[in-house]
Chain A
Amino acid sequence: EVQLLESGGGLVQPGGSLRLSCAASGFTFSGHSMSWVRQAPGKGLEWVSVIGVGGVPTFYADSVRGRFTISRDDSKDTLFLLMETLRVEDTALYFCARGSQAAGGFDYWGQGTLVTVSS
Chain B
Amino acid sequence: DIQMTQSPSSLSASVGDRVTFTCQASQGIRNSLGWYQQKPGKAPKRLINAASAFQSGVPSRFSGSGFGTEFTLTINSLQPEDSATYYCLQYNSYPLTFGQGTRLEIK
Which residues of A approach B to under 8 Å, CB–CB?
35, 37, 44-47, 50, 59-62, 95, 100-101, 104-107, 109-112
A46 and B6 CA atoms in complex are apart in Å by: 15
- Cross-chain contact of B91 among A37, A61, A101 (Cβ < 8 A): A101
Q: State whether B98 touches A104 (Cβ < 8 A).
A: no
Q: State whether B98 touches A44 (Cβ < 8 A).
A: yes
Q: State whether A112 touches B43 (Cβ < 8 A).
A: yes
Q: State whether B46 touches A107 (Cβ < 8 A).
A: yes
Contacts of B43 in A (CB 8 A): 95, 109-112
Q: B73 to chain A: closest CB distance in Å?
A: 14
A111 and B41 CA atoms in complex are apart in Å by: 9
Q: State whether B34 touches A104 (Cβ < 8 A).
A: yes
Q: Enumerate 11 A-B pairs (CB-CB under 8 Å) in ascending A order.
A: A44-B99, A45-B44, A47-B89, A47-B97, A47-B98, A59-B95, A61-B95, A104-B50, A105-B89, A107-B46, A107-B55
Q: Does B69 belong to the interface (CB within 8 Å)?
A: no
A35 and B89 CA atoms in complex are apart in Å by: 14
Chain B facing A: main interface SS: loop
Q: A47 to chain B: closest CB distance in Å?
A: 4
Query: Residue of A at shortest CB range from B93?
Result: A101
A106 and B96 CA atoms in complex are apart in Å by: 11
Q: Does B64 belong to the interface (CB within 8 Å)?
A: no
Query: Residue of B at shortest CB range from A57?
Result: B94
Q: Does B87 belong to the interface (CB within 8 Å)?
A: yes
Contacts of A109 in B (CB 8 A): 43-45
Contacts of A105 in B (CB 8 A): 34, 46, 49, 89, 91, 96
Contacts of B89 in A (CB 8 A): 45, 47, 105-106
CB within 8 Å of A: which B56-107 residues: 87, 89, 91-101
Contacts of A100 in B (CB 8 A): 91
Q: State whether A47 touches B101 (Cβ < 8 A).
A: no
A40 and B1 CA atoms in complex are apart in Å by: 20
Q: B100 to chain A: closest CB distance in Å?
A: 5
Q: A46 to chain B: closest CB distance in Å?
A: 7
